[in-house]
Amino acid sequence: MSRTLWFVAGAATSAYAIAKTRRAAEALTPEGLRDRLAGLSIGAQLFGDELRSEMTVRETELRERLGLRLDGPTQIGAAAAAPHQLTREGNN
């Protein structure tokens, strides 16, 4: 029983090592590198899109909370924002 167990464990380990080695060799071919770079590029683009989307949502939330519009403060928030001019044009 013990020899059979060790034989099966060795065979499974060998099969796993061969599969990992084959994947690594395929990844280092020109086609494999091109595929990995394409995947990385798409991932970076999706991350950037998500980041810009969340920044817009957060900016809208902050503007609503502070009572600001894109062109300047509203009448309600004018007294609080006047010393700082929290508009995009005022930060130049």
Domain ranges of the chain: 2-73
Q: Give the whole-angstrom CA distance, residue 81 versus residue 60.
A: 16
Cβ burial 20-38 (10 Å sphere, 16+ → b, else e): eeeeeeeeeeeeeeeeeee
pLDDT tens digit at each of 92 positions of the chain:
799 999 999 999 999 999 999 999 988 899 989 999 999 999 999 999 999 999 999 999 999 999 887 775 555 555 555 555 555 555 54
